[in-house]
Amino acid sequence: MSNPSRLENFPISFFSIVMGLCGLTIAWSTFQRAFGLQLNVDGALALFVAGLFVVLLFFYVRKILHFRDAVIRELNHPVKMNFFPSISISLLLLSIVSLHTLPVVAEPLWLMGTVMHIGFTLYIMSVWIHHDQFEIHHINPAWFIPVVGNVLVPVAGMQLGYTEVSWFFFSIGIVFWIVLMTIIFYRIMFHSPMPEKLMPTLFILIAPPAVGFLSYMKLTGDLDAFARILYYVGLFLTLLLATQYRFFIRINFFLTWWAYSFPIAAITIATLVVYEHTGSVVHAGLSWVLVTLLTLLIIMLLYRTARAVSRHMICRPED
């Protein structure tokens, strides 16, 4: 990233790659535990994703130092602003990964991610409240990231002993998931289709109930009725989007393709947790299918991203 113009156009959405890879790492960790495997795939993935996060953070800090106006434009953009919390979510996910691989850094990462995320939530919601430029066509499932991302906090927070803080963040995420879900389905059903570039963000619809299920299980430890509702809503949305595959396979590659990764990882992990609690043969089979699908998806996304970067298709001014 030595070319100044490429650094100026370095997108904040790059951090969605870290989210997807962390999701894959946690999925493999859960998969190995659920089926008693000792492959240590998650250990290798954890090192890779931690290194990638440091590299991406290095370049974005450089962008902040050298192209402050470009960063401010992203912070005020109706779509791009919602990807800034992908940094804090990446920290929270890295803290979950670290609980098993390097426990000593899990709490500092969780604290940094939690404080940063509530800051992003307050800032972005303030912009939503006081804006004078947003229209209904600006909203898309990426708007879930800043507010509904709060449901991720309890996953590591409960194990680290922050019970009330975890309930605080879970409550924010779940309530505003319902609010935003209503608005987004209104936009999808009664207005013009989203631009092709943003179509992959529809998969983000899966993440709130799936992650909400994982958080709720950490908070209560019980696969009760509400937990099942969250899980099966997430599973239904996965099936709904799977039936739309003909629309997604025609989309040209954009960095937004990484929106496929973390939601699929979330429903994969949720399915594995359900299997651990029920021993269901159906959920066991579904777990194998989803882990395989997720792994192949991530490999494909890494290849397409690397090719796009090498061809200078990313980090360039938008048309």
Q: How far apart are CA 178 and CA 203, in angstroms?
A: 16
96: helix, coil or strand?
A: helix
For domain 4-310, the CATH class is mainly alpha
The confidence score (pLDDT) of residue 114 equals: 97
Tell me the one-letter amino acid at 164: E
Spell out the domain ranges in the chain.
Answer: 4-310
pLDDT at 6 over 90: no
pTM: 0.94
pLDDT at 197 over 80: yes
In this prediction, residues 222-227 reach a mean pLDDT of 96
pLDDT at 5 over 80: no
For 25-59, write each residue's pLDDT tens digit.
999 999 999 999 988 888 889 999 999 999 999 99
Q: How far apart are CA 137 and CA 195, in angstroms?
A: 10
Q: How far apart are CA 81 and CA 95, in angstroms?
A: 23
Give the model's confidence band at 289: pLDDT under 50 very low, under 70 low, under 90 confident, else very high. very high
Return the minimum-mean-pLDDT range out of 94-103, 153-162, 281-290. 94-103
Give the model's confidence band at 224: pLDDT under 50 very low, under 70 low, under 90 confident, else very high. very high
